[in-house]
Amino acid sequence: MLTTQTVLPKLAVLLQDPTVHYWEKKALLTAQTSLKNQVNSKIVLERLEVELRPLALRNNLTANMADFYLQLTGNPAGQMEFNYDIHYQKDPPFQERAIFSGGCFWCLVEPFDRRTGVKAVISGYIGGTAPHPSYEQVSHDHTGYVEAVEIIYDSRLIKYQDILQTYWQLIDPTDASGQFDDRGDHYRPVIFYTDQHQLQLAEADKHRMEQSNHYKAPIVVGIEAATKFWPAENYHQNFYQKFKARYRRLERTRKQVLLFQHLRGRLRALFKGPHK
């Protein structure tokens, strides 16, 4: 439960946050002033919740504000803090990283997270040049960044080839303009390699896909050298655990399209055979 003592530091941080919109800050500033003037905190926070509710219901709050709104309304998801330490720490022996993009990063986390040997899956942004990108900036499609996942794994328990195989099963490799319902350049599918070994395996896999006759259209998945990966805001981490109903709806749509696509691909390969 938020009180004057616990909420004032949160308001101060959000008011200094460059990703928080002006109209969100206006509501926060009003609440901050009232609390400092010792207005009853229950009344102040209820007013703030009412003011933010229309944006929250339309999923139009900025990421850090959305996290705060979850806390404001007592939603358990608001208490789920992602531990980013493993991203910033130096990799010990046998720990490696794989980075992929392919539509909204919300739908790419769970399939990798459940693989034996995977230690962490982090949603984030890669491919652009501006520092500290936010979800709002990337979603406007003018930054060069894509939504991606960084998979940190123990190479003794799972190989890069296995992770690649999972990736191909999650995307439409013929769609360079996005994935499924996710449209825009920041949703394009890309394999970001971290070393020459990953590059060789990715290129071999892509060539094998091209020769399989599984798809009628060309394989357009990019293979690019990994640049700096910026972890996304806490709100976007482990989305499948926080917002199970919403995630399942998104996942269902993706699975339906992929099921039809894979069935059609198997039929094409059966009747036409692989390229010689």
Active site residues: 104
Give dist(CA 62, CA 44) in Å, integer. 21
- Count Cβ neighbours within 10 Å for each residue of 199-219 and write b for 16 or more, e otherwise: eebbeebbeebeeebbbeeeb
Residue type, 249: R
Give dist(CA 134, CA 186) in Å, integer. 13
Contact at 8 Å (CB) between 136 and 17?
no
Give dist(CA 185, CA 178) in Å, integer. 6
Give dist(CA 215, CA 209) in Å, integer. 8
Q: In what helix (H) or strand (E) does residue 43 lie, and over which residues does it extend?
A: helix 41-57
Contact at 8 Å (CB) between 62 and 19?
yes
Angle of helix 160-170 versus helix 244-272 axis, rounded to 10? 90
- Count Cβ neighbours within 10 Å for each residue of 110-131 and write b for 16 or more, e otherwise: bbbbeeeebebbbbbbbbbeee
CB hemisphere CA count around 172 (13 angstroms): 27
